[in-house]
A and B are shown apart, each in its own frame.
Chain A
Amino acid sequence: MALLNRLRRRGSAPLGWLLGALCSVGFLACGTQGSGEPLANTWPRTALRSFVLRDAEQPYALLRLGWDLDQPAVAPRLDDPAVPLMVWGRMNPRQEAEHGVLFRAAVTDLGAAAPPELALAPVAAWEGTDLSSPTFLPGEGDRPPLLFYQGGDGSVGLARLAADGQVQRLTTAAPLLPAAALGVGRIGRLSVLSVGSAVRLYYLVADQHAHFVQLDAEALTRRAAADSGALDFQVSAPLLWAADFLVKQTAVVMVPAERLAGLWVRRVTTPAGRDRFDLYAVASAMTKSVVVSASSYSGGTIGSTSERFLPVESPALASASEGTPSSPAMIIYKDQPLMLLGLHTVQTGIAVAVPPS
């Protein structure tokens, strides 16, 4: 302030001129020069359409010679980049589709995975000769992380997942949920979600319609603590039908899907703070198969009728190159959605698809 008052009385013409001239020249020295480069589009999108194989030439992240790998799922883990992603799935020897076991593989980089190793083989009587459809419920409160899986007839089994990755069966004597209670017809792949105080298992029946079975979360926690009490459950009405999707046969011909398979559902909290349920599956008609998606804000309801999932017109996977897709699973990897899926060319392996750039 003293300086200003001094300047006020005595002034400083050279300083004034210098300031004025420097500012004027400085301002004028800026020019209009541009390259016409567009800006990158970073607006977040929903992960419901147009994924593309990460590498169309070599799409597989997991392969095992002589075996078919399918039905990928990712075990719960700490969000620590140093800890590898543990990818589970079903594998069976080539030509022995009915003898499936569960595998796991540690993946530190999508292009470099450890070979798949046996994680769980059928031993219980109800499991038969085939295990499939691993799906994980993350731990919450007293409940540890849980693994759901299916036996040969589609019945649902339960196991506890330890921190070291070891699996402890909780349904040795009988399945958690018998197939007959879930629906009439072949019970398809499972996908488990926690929804408030309930736990839902989504699945397909007879390759035609989707349902979920709902369990009480506390009851499940007690069951996981080896309490062998009965578990009440409720089955929803159909949420979605195969014919809701269209499958492209030629450039101009689209037909309703004849079959649905490989269902996967995830729950997302939108930026508005509400839930949205995204469903992925493979829709087939004649010889064509395409990965499709659908969505719902409620995820379906228990009752004689249920709020249905709304099918998305565009495929979830833009192109499977020369292969046949199966069993998509959507995960978040390094803050980005990532699709793992089975892909059959000469053999079946686990492929990776990424959002469109």
Chain B
Amino acid sequence: MRKTLPALSVAALCLLAASARASLPELTSLGTRSPALAGTGVADSTGYEATYQNPAGLATGKRNLTLGLVYGGYQTTIDDAPYPIENTLGLIIGGALPLPLGGVMKDRLGLGLGLYLPTGFINRVRVPFPDVPRASLLDSRTQIVSILFGGGLRLPWGLQVGGGVLALAALVGEINIQQDGSGRLIAASEQQLTVNYSPILGARWQTPGGRVAVGAVFRGVSESSYRITVHTRLGDALPLMLPVIYFSGIAQYDPLQVAAEVSVRASRRLVLTAQASYKRWSAFAYPIDKSTDGSLPLPVPHFHDTVVPRVALEWQPADLHAVEILLRVGYFFEWSPTPNPPPDDLSRNLLDSDRHVLTAGIGLRLLGRLPLSLSAFGQGHLLAPSARFNGGFGMMGVAVGLDL
């Protein structure tokens, strides 16, 4: 008991460790293995990918550092006219660290770090006027930094748990346009970047032989908001007074999610996985607030909750001496949360469509002196035919990992 108590306190430390999840992972999953497997991994992912899939998976695995690249290209139309969506391009950096404790804590505790960094920026907000139709859940969706940090603990009887908190930034402040003491026009500002936290908790269980694994994960709502108030005090310099202007809204939103998954090792070289995840889109609010006190109230989106089914298989075609090769395929159906039929008010311009997603990928791991691994994935997202929003997009990525 004396030795267990400190271990639990360290575990609590890990549970409190920050874990964050944001939009590229929500769209395609993080890494290269999980996206190749239709975004599954709640039951069996390890390494840095587990920081998003299920932090319980961080309890086992090897010490690893990974560097990767993700790219996505879009071809979509709205009302039969091309609708451009900015390409996705970003870096993936991941690390997994099983803590080399001894005694009863040997091989029980691990930490993980995962970063998705869009090239050049951290967050991009693009919200057009309410009467402009837009791809509400795809536009700028991958244009946000994801920072994930998690911890996992391996318990007896095949059970693993993990958790953390999700952090996204919020911007709040004030800008005052005025004259300074010498008469110059200036913009004085006070702005603070604060952080919103939401929890992420996961657990998994594996049969003694490792043939079947089940996992479940809960991800709280995460949102990145902004509220800047602009006061214009130009006195007599202008013949009109500007109202107080509010730049306020939600830059990024990921709904509350609960996912459950089962993974079965059908044979020595074949693993089959199936997952269902519930997403609480009904809590989604219109992404932008009123600009002035006198402006008209904005519409309610009336999104509904969704369930996303996923299936995948991973197959090792042969036992080779120098390299391990894994082939991956998967499919998932992303049910759109937008109401059908669309409402009569301006929220009808928040467009989205159901998506059929096919995924595939390959993983290579060198078995010699150089512990390198290479993996790649591709995803094809096909929008189900709809009256206004159609087309599709593809995502691909590649990553190099090094076991330390």
Q: Say if the two chains contact directly (CB < 8 Å).
A: yes
Question: Does B195 lie at the interface of the complex (its beta carbon under 8 Å from any beta carbon of A)?
Answer: yes
Contact present for A14 and B10 (CB under 8 Å): no
Contact present for A24 and B192 (CB under 8 Å): no
CB distance from A316 to the nearest CB of B (A): 14
Question: Does B9 lie at the interface of the complex (its beta carbon under 8 Å from any beta carbon of A)?
Answer: yes
A28–B190 CA distance with the chains assembled, in angstroms: 28
Contact present for A17 and B17 (CB under 8 Å): no
Question: Which of B5, B190, B197 has a CB less than 8 Å from the CB of A17?
Answer: B5
Contact present for B192 and A14 (CB under 8 Å): no
Q: Find chain B residues with CB under 8 A from A28 CB.
A: 13, 16-17
Residues 208-258 of A at the B interface (beta carbon under 8 Å): 251-252
Q: Find chain B residues with CB under 8 A from A20 CB.
A: 6
A58–B192 CA distance with the chains assembled, in angstroms: 39
A29–B192 CA distance with the chains assembled, in angstroms: 21
Residues 259-311 of A at the B interface (beta carbon under 8 Å): none
CB distance from A270 to the nearest CB of B (A): 18
Given A14-B2, A18-B6, A252-B236, A34-B13 contact (CB < 8 Å)? no
Q: Find chain B residues with CB under 8 A from A5 CB.
A: none
Given A14-B2, A36-B173, A21-B10 contact (CB < 8 Å)? yes
Q: Find chain A residues with CB under 8 A from B5 CB.
A: 14, 17
Residues 1-42 of B at the A interface (beta carbon under 8 Å): 2, 5-6, 9-10, 12-13, 16-17
Contact present for B195 and A25 (CB under 8 Å): no
A137–B353 CA distance with the chains assembled, in angstroms: 85
Question: Does A38 lie at the interface of the complex (its beta carbon under 8 Å from any beta carbon of B)?
Answer: yes
Question: Which of A21, A32, A33, A38 has a CB less than 8 Å from the CB of B190?
Answer: A38
Residues 170-204 of B at the A interface (beta carbon under 8 Å): 172-174, 181, 190-192, 194-195, 197
Question: Which of A29, A33, A35, A252 has a CB less than 8 Å from the CB of B195?
Answer: A33
Question: Does A31 lie at the interface of the complex (its beta carbon under 8 Å from any beta carbon of B)?
Answer: yes
Contact present for B194 and A25 (CB under 8 Å): no
Contact present for A29 and B194 (CB under 8 Å): no
Contact present for A32 and B195 (CB under 8 Å): yes
Contact present for B9 and A36 (CB under 8 Å): no
Contact present for A24 and B194 (CB under 8 Å): no
| Chain B residue at smallest Cβ distance from A17 | B6
A13–B9 CA distance with the chains assembled, in angstroms: 14
Given A17-B5, A32-B195, A36-B192, A25-B13 contact (CB < 8 Å)? yes
Contact present for A31 and B195 (CB under 8 Å): yes
A25–B172 CA distance with the chains assembled, in angstroms: 29
Contact present for A21 and B13 (CB under 8 Å): yes
Contact present for B6 and A35 (CB under 8 Å): no
Q: Find chain A residues with CB under 8 A from B9 CB.
A: 17-18, 21-22, 24-25
Question: Which of A18, A21, A22, A33 has a CB less than 8 Å from the CB of B194?
Answer: A33
Question: Which of B6, B172, B181, B236 has a CB less than 8 Å from the CB of A36?
Answer: B172
CB distance from A292 to the nearest CB of B (A): 16
Given A18-B6, A21-B9, A38-B174, A32-B194 contact (CB < 8 Å)? yes
A14–B6 CA distance with the chains assembled, in angstroms: 8
Q: Find chain A residues with CB under 8 A from B192 CB.
A: 34, 36
Q: Find chain B residues with CB under 8 A from A14 CB.
A: 2, 5-6
Q: Find chain A residues with CB under 8 A from B16 CB.
A: 25, 28-29
A20–B5 CA distance with the chains assembled, in angstroms: 12
CB distance from B283 to the nearest CB of A (A): 22
CB distance from A356 to the nearest CB of B (A): 12
A14–B7 CA distance with the chains assembled, in angstroms: 11
| Chain B residue at smallest Cβ distance from A49 | B181
A73–B17 CA distance with the chains assembled, in angstroms: 66
Q: Find chain B residues with CB under 8 A from A252 CB.
A: 236
| Chain A residue at smallest Cβ distance from B193 | A34
Q: Find chain B residues with CB under 8 A from A25 CB.
A: 9, 12-13, 16
A36–B17 CA distance with the chains assembled, in angstroms: 25
A28–B17 CA distance with the chains assembled, in angstroms: 7
Q: Write the residues of chain A forming the contact surface with B, with a CB cutoff of 8 angstroms.
A: 13-14, 17-18, 20-22, 24-25, 28-29, 31-36, 38, 251-252, 314
A/B interface sample: 25 pairs, CB < 8 A? A14-B5, A17-B5, A17-B6, A17-B9, A21-B10, A21-B12, A21-B13, A24-B10, A25-B9, A25-B12, A25-B13, A28-B16, A28-B17, A29-B16, A31-B197, A32-B194, A33-B194, A34-B172, A34-B192, A34-B194, A35-B172, A36-B190, A36-B192, A36-B194, A38-B174
**4 further contact pairs, Cβ within 8 A, besides A28-B17, A31-B195, A36-B172:** A13-B2, A25-B12, A33-B194, A36-B192
